[in-house]
Amino acid sequence: MAMTAPEPVPETKVFMVEDGVAKNEEDLPLSADDTTHQIGVDPWYQAGFVLTTGVNSAYVLGYSGSLMVPLGWIGGAIGLLIAAGVSMYANALLAKLHLLGGKRHIRYRDLAGHIYGARMYRVTWAMQYVNLFMINIGFVILAGQALKALYLLIRDDGALKLPYCIVISGFVCTLFAVGIPYLSALRVWLLFSTAFSLIYIVAACVLALRDGARAPARDYSIPGDPSSRVFTTIGASASLVFAYNTGMLPEIQATIKPPVVKNMEKALWLQFTAGSVPLYAVIFIGYWAYGNETSSYLLNSVHGPVWVKAVANLAAFLQTVIALHIFASPMYEYLDTRFGSGRGGPFAAHNVVFRVGVRGGYLAVNTLVAAALPFLGDFMSLTGALSTFPLTFVLANHMYLVANGHRLSSLRKAWHWFNVVGFTVLAVAAAIAALRLIAVDSKTYHLFADV
């Protein structure tokens, strides 16, 4: 009987990982959990544009009123810089954990599950869902506000009220969600988003500068009695961190080509340097021009040619549609992977019908809540408290501590524990402040209010 040679044993590669970074990252296998969406195909600058789209979304038109008015010049300026620094640091920590254990963790909950186990997997998914759901509600409100402002420039008859504008916005967001199957497919739409952002930011800045130059002295004092100032200041601190963070960094990092850690760090540097310049410009110019009377939607405060304001509001509406798709993509990925057929291309008829039903249903719920409770500033504060603080700061520091604790010095361990405890306390305080603000506004405005 002829003897056959034994099959060769596959070569086993060992990957050295220090502080969450693989030394030979290009050699790492693209091992990841199953998904129907594309991963590992985008250059770093596309991820940078995704992050920049988030930080310069139409939300920036509300920061002069929601951040600077309750904090004032000193508190607002220093707070923005501190929030930027700690946000960059926390996101960089999270990016270094992407390849923990020699595997790409393409979802935030996957990374938490790998470190803590199944229970924390579910808790993290719940927190992230709340975070993204609240952000999406805010985007639908923003789109509705922009659409209403645009209508009032054309016909000031009061016929098209904010709830109607919110419903129209939700419908347009659904059409876009059906046409763009996954995050990587945005591509050229990110350029459109950047152009739209520049249009409304430049228009708001130019018109506000003109108004400020012509206006008498403004009042920059922090409004309210001492007790209410405490709550508004704490709530504004949650909005500060909300301004810089997505709550979905692993999902964005999942789209990047190797080396994924270095490329994500490049994307973060783009976001927190050049990408944040428009944010600072519109916040400071808006507050300088109108003081503590700054509107929660800056384009409602500016004066100027009707056509300029109309174009700016239209750009804000369109950019919001694109930005919402980014922040809804983790939910879309879950729904597509969990309930989709997994057969055929993204534009096969059955997959398009699936997106119409499932994504349309998800956005219908967002739209209903947005129309019923259109209090944008309160949602930013509550979102920052309930999920942005825990996801971006508490979990990022603790996961890094658990993953690398045996290699960290006592001083570095103490530093990470300080961050964990400190941001937990801030999250609790900010949640109480935000709930109080929502309770107060709920008494002032009725459901489906035309604010």
Asked if the model's pLDDT at residue 114 lies above 60, the reply is yes
Is the Cβ–Cβ distance between 165 and 313 less than 8 Å?
no
pLDDT, tens digit, 9 for 90 and up, residues 189-209: 999 999 999 999 999 999 999
The secondary structure element, H or E, covering residue 18 is strand 17-18
Going through 52-168 in order, the beta strands assigned E by DSSP cover: none
Q: What letter represents residue 297's amino acid?
A: Y
Q: Over pLDDT 90: what percentage of the chain?
A: 59
Q: What's the mean pLDDT in 38-57?
A: 91
Q: Rounded to whole angstroms, how far apart are CA atoms 394 and 245?
A: 13
Give 432's contacts (C-beta < 8 A, 6+ positions apart). Answer: 231, 234
Taking alpha carbons only, the member of 248, 242, 281 closest to residue 109 is 248
Report whether pLDDT(41) > 80.
yes
* Region label for 170, one of left (φ > 0), alpha (ψ between -120 and 50) or beta (otherwise): alpha
Mean pLDDT along residues 228-249: 84
Which domains does the chain show, CATH number per domain? 46-444 (1.20.1740.10)
* 450 has pLDDT over 80: no
Name the residue type at position 329. Answer: S
Cα–Cα distance measured from residue 424 to residue 394, given in angstroms and rounded to the nearest whole number = 6
The rounded distance, in Å, linking the Cα atoms of 236 and 424 is 16
d(CA 113, CA 121): 4
Instruction: Give the model's pLDDT for residue 325.
Output: 94
100 Cβ neighbours under 8 A, 6+ residues apart = 17, 20, 111, 114, 115, 403
Give the confidence band of 82 by pLDDT, cuts at 50, 70, 90.
Answer: very high
DSSP state of 42: B
| Distance between CA atoms of residues 269 and 275, nearest Å | 9
CB within 8 A of 82, min separation 6: which ones? 240
Give the mean model confidence (pLDDT) for residues 328-349. 88
Q: What is the pLDDT of residue 316?
A: 96
Pairing of strands 21-22, 17-18: antiparallel
Six-digit token string for 333: 């990925």
- Supply the pLDDT for residue 90: 94
Tokens of 181: 């199957």
pLDDT at 381: 67
Angle at 212 between CA 207 and CA 218, to 5 degrees: 140
Please report the pLDDT score of residue 182 as a whole number: 86
If DSSP codes are grouped into helix, strand and coil, which group holds residue 298? helix
Q: What integer pLDDT is reported at residue 405 of this predicted model?
A: 82
pLDDT of residue 17: 41
Query: Residue 26: pLDDT above 60?
Result: no
CB of 366 closer than 8 Å to CB of 140? yes
Burial class (CB in 10 A: 0-12, 13-18, 19+), 73: middle
CB 239 within 8 A of CB 384: yes
Single pTM value for the model:
0.86
How does residue 29 score in pLDDT terms, banded at 50, 70 and 90?
very low
Give the three-class secondary structure for 256: strand
Do the Cβ atoms of 267 and 98 come closer than 8 Å? Answer: no
pLDDT (tens digit, 9 = 90+) per residue, 367-408?
Answer: 999 998 776 556 666 776 777 788 889 999 999 999 988 889
Q: Which residues of 141-176 are buried (b: 16+ CB within 10 A; e: fewer)?
A: bbbbbbbbbbbebeeeeeebbbbbbbbbbbebbbeb
pLDDT at 275 over 60: yes
pLDDT > 70 fraction of the chain, expressed in percent and rounded: 89
pLDDT at residue 322, as a whole number: 95
- Does position 70 have pLDDT exceeding 50, yes or no? yes
Per-residue model confidence (pLDDT) at position 305 = 95
For residue 6, is it left (φ>0), alpha (ψ between -120 and 50) or beta?
Answer: beta
pLDDT band at 129 (very low <50, low <70, confident <90, very high): confident
- DSSP code at position 5: P
Residue 394 near residue 241 (C-beta atoms within 8 A): no
